[in-house]
Structures are given as structure tokens and as C-alpha cells.
A and B are shown apart, each in its own frame.
Chain A
């Protein structure tokens, strides 16, 4: 899911480039309720566009909505991410229902939950009053926004509760949210905001940021004495730092769950927000067998079009053979052990990686180990880390295991790797 999810989320911000995605455009505004909701609340929804200063042209569009009479607008962080990452190159403006545009500036952000509060000059626009909302599952909701920059549309769908086992809360909305609608509100028939459109997994499976996260950010941004940070990029780094601190704290701790693969004991599902799956393969044409087991977080944090973060994956592969001699089998292990798990990111975003390798012994196991890291260039204190280990000594079976962490402090990564390494062992006979 995550790939589609990512692709759509990014192209959501790039909808003006003409990325043709899916169907159902504009929306099924069929029922009388939808017509009513549209009539009553459409004026509170705006289009947000990010403008490249030199060309003066739109580089991304999204949606947003007024939340105060003082010109506060809520949208997604990813809609305005270019402004935050390269403020010298981009500016933003909002376009209201009357096709009038005016400049906006980013006031506050919540990069983890993908929210931003913008400040526009007040012009007597109507706004949504935010209040906690807890609809029942199946409640009819209406999502508004500018799909593919085709004009303000309304989409009908249903509330399907909060997603379980995610790192941060998300509402499952059954309805077609399309690129360009990001940042728009999803409301009930009375016009109470339930969440903010954020992403889709295609086929009517869409996701919203719950309104309580919106309320928290708007409260912060409108608090008397609130000062907009000089560098929002520093805020991004701070938010990512405290975010990773909370979810890494207990990862692979003493109570870690383990699973037996081949003759080896390996950690699995280090936290409820991991999804694990596995497979075993044996083919007549191949002189070896593999058992695979992998776990990954479903969530990631969008930082910019070039960079996302907050993904954790672990993968175990057990290889065994009856046909290959030990030299050939170790050639196989060597080839399976090669490469790293870093997603490609440009050199403006991360430093080149640095690696160290060694042979490590712990009770019952000798392991070849490789640890690689690279540093985020614009976000102080954050690193990507890749660790892999392979068992040594067995002539006809071996375990290769990898752990990838992105957007974490080096100290946290080191601690997690240490615990991860300690949780590897031989299965009890």
C-alpha cells in the first residue's frame, strides 16, 4: 500500500502537472445532502498554490480551509513543503471561491501529522469552527477540495474509524480523495470538521488527519504571544527528533517477540505499529531454499518531494541447501548479503553513506556485521541507519538479517541495533 500511498501523496501536490490518476472526477455530488453541504460550506474552502518565484508559475496545488475570522487557514504540510524546504525559491497564495488570490505565509506546522496553519490577510471570509468530533462508524461524510485543479468539488463517503496499529492516528475514510484535495476539510452533514484530507491508497480507501490534531496545532498557532519560528526547517527537525524518541524508546527491548526461522531465533513485530509477513520458497530449478520474514512500519513522514522519513523495516532471510558445496553456498550468501537498504535520496538531502563491517561473536552465533549511516543535511541531528548481519560457520545454512531506520538520532539507532543484535540467536533444540 505504502508505495501507491506515497506516489499519490506526492503527485497530489503536483496535480497541476497533469498527472492523470484514476477515475471518479470530479465527484459524486448526487444526494440532496451533498448539494446542501456544498451550498452552505463551499465558501470556507480555498485552493492553496505554491508558486516558484522566478517563473511565477504554480509548482504545486492543494486545498485548505478557513478556521478563524482572522485569516487562519489549515492545510497539509506536504502542500506547502516546498516553501518550508526552500523559502528562497517559493511563495504561496490562496485562491478563494471568487477566484481572488492573496499571499499566505506558513505560521505553524506539524510535520508528523502532515498539517500546516497558514496566515492570510483577513477579508471577512466565513470559517469552520473547530470542535472535537467522534462520529459513529458508517456516518456519511463530505470531503471538499480541488481534485487535479479542476475546481472545488465535493465527495461523499463514510467514516470508518481510526486506523489500528499506526504510528500516528489516521481516519479511514471510504471515498475518493484525489490529488489536489490534500488539505481540504472532510465534514459531516452539519458542517463539523472531522478530519483533513491527506492521502489515499486508491479504490475509495482514503485517509484523514483527525480533527483533534488540527485543533492542537491551531490552538498553538493562535495562542497569544505565539511567534512564528525563524526557520520552519528547524521546527521540522525538532518535531522529527521528538517523534522518533517516543517510538524508538521500547523497540527490541527485553520483552521483544521472537520467531524461529530455520534454526535461528529472530525478533519480530517489535511494536504494534509494525506489519509483518513472510514466505518460504523452494524451487526445483534452484539448488537452495529460502524462508523470508519481514516487518515494516506502514507510516512514513513526508518531508519534501525528495525526502521522506520515519520508516523502519526489518527483514530476515534464512537460506539452506543440500546441493551446493560450502564454497558455492557462501558465494550465494555473499551475493544475498550485498547492497544496502537505503532509499535513494539526492546529495542535497543526505550525505553519502559511511559503513563499517566486522565479525562479531555472541552466545551460539558468529556473525558478519555491517553498519552504514548517512546524515540529513538540512535537518540537524537526524540520520538514516542500515544494519545487516549474516551468520557464519554453518556450511549449508545461514541467516541474513537487515534493519533499516530512517530519520533517527545516531544514539537511538545505535541503541536499537545493539538490542536487535542481542535478540538474534540459535533456536533452542
Chain B
């Protein structure tokens, strides 16, 4: 039986081969498997035959017992098969049968297992290049003066440079924590976020043009933008840290949430009445017959609602002023 000592991310730190049983596990130097963990007893557990041809891990009166890493449940005995994990103190162990079948080796240059499809060099190149093109196109379509395409590409390049600085920061952190830079991956992540923003924004413009009062499109798209930011931060964290997947998402959610909260508070001040008063509206080049429209009379019926809205606003403000005095 092979005992694997795992780190917090689940990667193998160390392997010990056990050939004879019973074998002992603990902090003491006399054990077969020595764990460097202050929460592990000097003699913590013993791996022995259960009398039916199987192995069982038996607690030796330890302070913290044996724990199932998934459920956290404590136990004094645990049947051991290939692939079973157990926690002793703060160390996770995995037992593996030496006969476990493995996949063939990766060809040199192929992506690593666990890196996901985004780590493929071609995918990364396509995303980074695509973002550059998207930035240029977006800025060109938004310009209404005689700008040359080369100037616009320059602007896109500056934007990409700023993204590179961001990615470089993450890569440095990555080098410190994991001994790997992974710069291209850290560059790809903000590119995905940026492209996502541009696409979401364009979709929002078209939706609010086609169905102006149909839905709070801007809010929906702001939600998409926040989700993209959370994903991006979690993706960076996944590469630089050994945090569990849930922890990565929680951390990035907390950071993005806190930033959004601060920005919202700073913008709204004490004037909630100013929310939702935009007089701006999107115009899009669609043939007139494809644009959903109403009659002037129907539009003016909607306008009537505004009177009620400002009257109510007026009452509310008057009441608040009266309360203040």
C-alpha cells in the first residue's frame, strides 16, 4: 500500500511505501509514516489487517482522532481501500494500491492535466488576439471622427499593455507561491473578462434599443459584468494559491462584492431618488420595419405614469423634509 501525504489543494507532497503490516503513523520518529504536524499524536494510528484480507486504520487513542476529509466526521476505525482519504490532525492522507492503473504519458509540450482547456497555447493566443481585435473594432465603431485604424490599434495596444502589467503582477505572485510564472494564462484571464464586458455591453445596447422600457437591461448586464469579474479573480487565485475551489470563489466574490459596495455607496450618497432617472437611450441601425414600435398614443399612456412618479417623489421629499425639521 502506498500512503500519499497531500497538501491543502490535494496535490501529493510525499509518498511512503508500506510493505509490512501493522504499520504505524504519527509524529514520532519511530513510526513507519512520520507526519510533521503538531495536531498529530506521536503515535496516532495503526494500519493493520482486519482479518478478512482487508486493511483497517485504527486510532491509537489520539487527541484528534481520525477524520473523514469530506464529511469531517471523527472515527476510531476506518476500513482502507485504494483511493480512501483520511485526515490526521491537519494532514490529509490518501491510500493507493500499487497496482492502480494509470493513463499513458502526455506527449512533450501538451497541456498539463488539471490546467483546463484555457491553458492550451493556441487557445490563449486566440483569446488574446481576439481581445485586441474586439477592442479595436469596438473603439472604431464608437468613434465618429476621421480616426485612422492605426491610431485605434494603438489605443487597443495600450489597453493590452495595461492588461499585461496586471497579468505580470499575478505571474510574479504565482512564481513566489508555486514556482511557476504562468504569465500567458494570467494574461488570458483579463482578456476573457474584457471581451466578455464588451460583448455584454453591446448586447445590452441592442436590448435596450429594441425593448426600451421592457426590463432593467443595464442592471442585468451589470450583473453579468460582476460575474465575469468574480470568475476572473477566482481564475487568478486558482493558479497562484492552494485554496480549495470553493474558497477561491468565496474570496473573489467577497473582494468584488466589497469593491462594488464601496463604489455604489460613493456614487449614491444620500440621494436614492436619483437612481433610474437616465434620459439616455440607444439608437441602432436597423431597418424601420424591424424595430418594434408603439403608437404615439401608447407612448403617451406610459408618459402619464411619470406624473404619478414625480408626484409621489414630491410627497416623499416633502415628508422627509418635515421629519427633518
Query: Is residue A134 contacting chain B, with contact meaning CB distance below 8 A?
Result: no
Query: Is residue B285 contacting chain A, with contact meaning CB distance below 8 A?
Result: yes
Do A359 and B294 have beta carbons less than 8 Å apart?
Answer: yes
CA distance A374 to B306 in the complex (A): 9
Shortest beta-carbon distance from A286 to chain B in Å: 6
Do A410 and B307 have beta carbons less than 8 Å apart?
Answer: yes
Shortest beta-carbon distance from A413 to chain B in Å: 9
Do B299 and A286 have beta carbons less than 8 Å apart?
Answer: no
Shortest beta-carbon distance from A268 to chain B in Å: 20
Query: Is residue A347 contacting chain B, with contact meaning CB distance below 8 A?
Result: yes
Query: Is residue A260 contacting chain B, with contact meaning CB distance below 8 A?
Result: no
CA distance A353 to B287 in the complex (A): 32
Partner of B144, one of A324, A358, A360, A392: A324
In the assembled complex, which residues on chain B have CB atoms less than 8 Å from the CB atom of A351?
A: 273, 310, 313-314, 317
Do A392 and B310 have beta carbons less than 8 Å apart?
Answer: no
Query: Given A286-B145, A375-B311, A414-B304, A359 and B293 touching (CB < 8 A)?
Result: yes
Partner of B213, one of A329, A333, A356, A388: A356
CA distance A292 to B293 in the complex (A): 27
Closest to B318 in A: A377
In the assembled complex, which residues on chain B have CB atoms less than 8 Å from the CB atom of A414?
A: 300, 303-304
Do A390 and B307 have beta carbons less than 8 Å apart?
Answer: no
Query: Is residue A231 contacting chain B, with contact meaning CB distance below 8 A?
Result: no
Do B293 and A361 have beta carbons less than 8 Å apart?
Answer: yes
CA distance A410 to B304 in the complex (A): 9
Query: Is residue B71 contacting chain A, with contact meaning CB distance below 8 A?
Result: no
User: Which chain B residues (298-325) contact chain A, with CB distance < 8 Å?
Assistant: 298-300, 302-307, 309-311, 313-314, 317-318
Query: Is residue B215 contacting chain A, with contact meaning CB distance below 8 A?
Result: no
Do B212 and A332 have beta carbons less than 8 Å apart?
Answer: no
Partner of A328, one of B144, B281, B286, B313: B144
Do B293 and A360 have beta carbons less than 8 Å apart?
Answer: yes
Do A358 and B286 have beta carbons less than 8 Å apart?
Answer: no
Do A285 and B303 have beta carbons less than 8 Å apart?
Answer: no
Interface flags, B197-209, vs A, CB<8A=1, else 0: 0000000000001
CA distance A390 to B141 in the complex (A): 19
Query: Is residue B283 contacting chain A, with contact meaning CB distance below 8 A?
Result: yes
In the assembled complex, which residues on chain B have CB atoms less than 8 Å from the CB atom of A328?
A: 140-144
Query: Is residue A339 contacting chain B, with contact meaning CB distance below 8 A?
Result: yes
In the assembled complex, which residues on chain A have CB atoms less than 8 Å from the CB atom of B294?
A: 358-361
Do B313 and A352 have beta carbons less than 8 Å apart?
Answer: yes
Interface flags, B261-301, vs A, CB<8A=1, else 0: 00000000001011001111111111111011111101110
In the assembled complex, which residues on chain B have CB atoms less than 8 Å from the CB atom of A377?
A: 314, 317-318
Task: Say which size band chain A's interface belongs to.
Answer: 35 or more
Do A355 and B279 have beta carbons less than 8 Å apart?
Answer: yes
Query: Is residue B14 contacting chain A, with contact meaning CB distance below 8 A?
Result: no
Query: Is residue A217 contacting chain B, with contact meaning CB distance below 8 A?
Result: no
What is the number of contacts between chain A and chain B, taking CB atoms within 8 Å? 154
In the assembled complex, which residues on chain B have CB atoms less than 8 Å from the CB atom of A329?
A: 144, 285
Do B279 and A287 have beta carbons less than 8 Å apart?
Answer: no
Partner of A339, one of B209, B213, B279, B302: B279
Partner of A375, one of B141, B298, B314: B314
CA distance A383 to B298 in the complex (A): 22
Query: Is residue B148 contacting chain A, with contact meaning CB distance below 8 A?
Result: no
Query: Is residue B13 contacting chain A, with contact meaning CB distance below 8 A?
Result: no
Do A368 and B310 have beta carbons less than 8 Å apart?
Answer: no
User: Which chain A residues (371-429) contact chain B, with CB distance < 8 Å?
Assistant: 371-375, 377, 383, 386, 388, 390, 392-393, 395, 398, 410, 414, 417-418, 421-422
Closest to B284 in A: A330
Do A327 and B313 have beta carbons less than 8 Å apart?
Answer: no
Query: Given A332-B144, A374-B310, A340 and B300 touching (CB < 8 A)?
Result: no
Partner of A354, one of B142, B212, B281, B306: B306
Query: Given A352-B277, A418-B300, A422-B296, A335 and B144 touching (CB < 8 A)?
Result: yes
Do B277 and A354 have beta carbons less than 8 Å apart?
Answer: yes
In the assembled complex, which residues on chain A have CB atoms less than 8 Å from the CB atom of B306?
A: 354-356, 371-373
User: What are some 22 contacts across the A-B interface (CB < 8 A)?
Assistant: A288-B144, A323-B146, A327-B141, A331-B143, A334-B282, A340-B279, A351-B317, A352-B271, A352-B274, A352-B277, A355-B306, A356-B213, A357-B281, A358-B299, A359-B212, A365-B288, A368-B209, A370-B281, A372-B277, A386-B279, A393-B286, A393-B289
Q: List chain B positions with a Cβ less than 8 A from chain A.
A: 140-146, 209-210, 212-213, 271, 273-274, 277-289, 291-296, 298-300, 302-307, 309-311, 313-314, 317-318
Given contacts A288-B144, A328-B141, 15 further A-B contacts (CB under 8 A): A326-B285, A328-B140, A330-B283, A351-B317, A353-B310, A356-B213, A359-B212, A360-B295, A362-B295, A366-B291, A368-B209, A372-B279, A373-B307, A377-B314, A392-B291
Q: List chain A positions with a Cβ less than 8 A from chain B.
A: 285-288, 323-324, 326-335, 337-340, 347, 351-362, 365-366, 368-375, 377, 383, 386, 388, 390, 392-393, 395, 398, 410, 414, 417-418, 421-422
9 closest cross-chain pairs (CB), A and B: A393-B288, A326-B285, A361-B293, A332-B144, A366-B288, A340-B279, A375-B310, A357-B212, A330-B285
